[in-house]
Structure 1
Amino acid sequence: MILAITGGKGGVGKTTVALNLAHALDAVAVDADLGMADLPERRGPDLHDVLAGRAEPIEAVDETGAVDLLPCGRSLAGARAADPTGLVDAVREIERSYEDIVIDCPAGMSADAGLPLYAADRCLLVASSEAFALPDAVRTRALARVLDAGIERVVLNRVGASPPDERVRDALGVPVETIPDADVVARARRSGQPVGALAPDSTVAERFRRLASIVVSDGR
């Protein structure tokens, strides 16, 4: 399974959802944001190296952390040397060895965002519960449908006590799951760890495990 995590705009917590869901699914997390990498850095070759022909995809998967990770480089030179068109083949090669992949897509509607969606079998859309984020989410849903990676569910991230589940479901036409706002998420992000590794008994960790279970069930 190749699962893309996308978002209509930046700042909605898409990377946090991707890392935590990869941990809950025991999947490889792939940082496919070639120009603005956000998943934790690791030593060794990265996606820039893979797409520039300097490393094999399997060689660049780092297994030293709580989540197996194909990180992306952060240098401008690395981004310029990378050929984005090789992303689909690289991800599919990793899938053959690891089976489950979670791709952290670039935010928005750029061409770079379309490539991971094209590679994916399935897709989750991360959105903010604020009304201003919904138009961007609707546009990303349309792009995913064009690329045959239709949005299966929306993940409303950092929600409060009364999330607008029904309004978002009506606007986007797909089921909605919620991840609560909590200090433990910020602590986990600062440490470069998924919440499930830092605070496995927390409500947020339980929500990500539930979301992983739903993803598995949807795929059957």
Structure 2
Amino acid sequence: MLAIAGGKGGSGKTTTTLGLARAFDGRTLVVDADGDMPNLHALAAVDRRPTLAAVDGERRPERVAQGHPEDPDVSVLPAPVGRPDDTADTEGGDADLQRLLRRLRSFDEESGHRTLVDCPAGAGPDAVAPLRVVDRVLVVSPLCAAALRDAAKTAAMARTLGTPVVGAVLTRTRLRPPGVGDLLDCPVVGSVPEVRPPVLERDAVRTAYGRLATTLGEET
């Protein structure tokens, strides 16, 4: 289970989550863990419900997740909402989120498929919760000083929790300045160029995520 994390909203986490999922070979589940600002479902063009909370009890994720309309190997679980719905008694809360992600992790081990978690930004309890559960973290940041400083805090937070940081991805740039790896204390494993929307339909972006998927696959 790989977390896609970053210190600021708008850094490209959700785009990276979905772009990387579509670039990997084999079945991949993408999960939105950001209950305050959920947008993975919108980018993936799937319904807002059922959510991650629907895997509670005995329901398996493959029976709940929605298929990506353009990629049959990618399934999507939107973030839990802040009130009950018809798929769970309660939703929301950091402890609940950790419990749900742990259930997904156990299903991962059974099925062998890959799961990517689109994490909340910042350093609050909601951002910490996924980092306690996942196996690895990929940090995402645009190439600007403020965002990189926040990304460095996210990487440090993951290490404090004992979760390895596999690398960093720089968004909206083709550059990989050597000092960035030193700042984040991890290798820069990819960069994604700035393009006009729809971002994930551009060849340059697909190529960048394809290279990133190859790099991460080699490290698995």
TM-score, length-normalised on structure 1? 0.82
Query: Does the 8 Å contact 2:41/2:77 carry over to 1?
Result: no
Question: Where does residue 131 of structure 2 map in the other structure?
Answer: 117
Write the distance in 1 (CA, Å) between the matches of 2:68 and 2:156: 37
Higher mean C-alpha displacement, 22-31 vs 89-98: 89-98
In structure 2, the residue matched to 1:107 is 121
Deviation digits for residues 150-176 of structure 1, max 9, x if unmatched? 21111000115xx35212112112211
Q: Which runs of 4+ in 1 moved over 4 A?
A: 53-56
Question: Quick check: 1:24 aligned with 2:23?
Answer: yes
Report if aligned partners of 1:157, 1:181 keep a CA contact under 8 Å in 2.
yes
In structure 2, C-alpha distance between the alignment counterparts of 1:33 and 1:54, rounded to whole Å: 23
Q: Which residue of 2 aligns with 1:187?
A: 198
Deviation at 1:48, TM superposition (A): 3.5
Deviating more after overlay: 3-12 vs 116-125 = 116-125
Q: Which amino acid aligns with 2:83?
A: A
Report deviation, 1:87: 2.5
Partner Cα distance (2:58, 2:166) in 1: 35
Sort the Cα spacing of 1:134 and 1:23 in 2 relative to 1 into closer, same or farther, 3 A: same
Q: How many residues are aligned here?
A: 202
Structure-1 residue corresponding to 2:7: 8
> In the alignment, what sits opposite 1:59?
63
Higher mean C-alpha deviation, range 78-87 or range 62-71: 78-87
The reply on whether 1:148 has 2:154 as its aligned counterpart is no
For 2:30, the aligned partner's letter is A
Q: The residue matched to 2:17 in structure 1 has which SS?
A: helix
Q: Is the 8 A contact 2:7 2:154 kept in 1?
A: yes
Q: Which runs of 5+ in 2 are unaligned?
A: none
Q: Identify the match of residue 180 of structure 2 among 158, 165, 168.
A: 168
Secondary structure class of the residue paired with 2:158: helix
Amino acid across the alignment from 2:212? L
The answer to whether the Cα contact below 8 Å between 1:109 and 1:140 also exists between their aligned partners in 2 is yes
The more displaced of 77-86 and 145-154 is 77-86
- Give me the whole-angstrom Cα distance separating, in 2, the residues matched to 1:6 and 1:181: 19
The alignment's C-alpha RMSD in Å is 2.3
Q: Which stretches in structure 1 are left out of the alignment for 5+ residues?
A: 189-194
| TM-superposed deviation, 1:55 | 5.2
| TM-score, normalization by structure 2 | 0.82
Q: 1:113 to 1:8 in 2, by over 3 A?
A: same
Question: Which residue identity is paired with 1:68?
Answer: S
CA distance in 2, matches of 1:54, 1:149: 28
- Name the structure where helix makes up a greater proportion of residues: 1
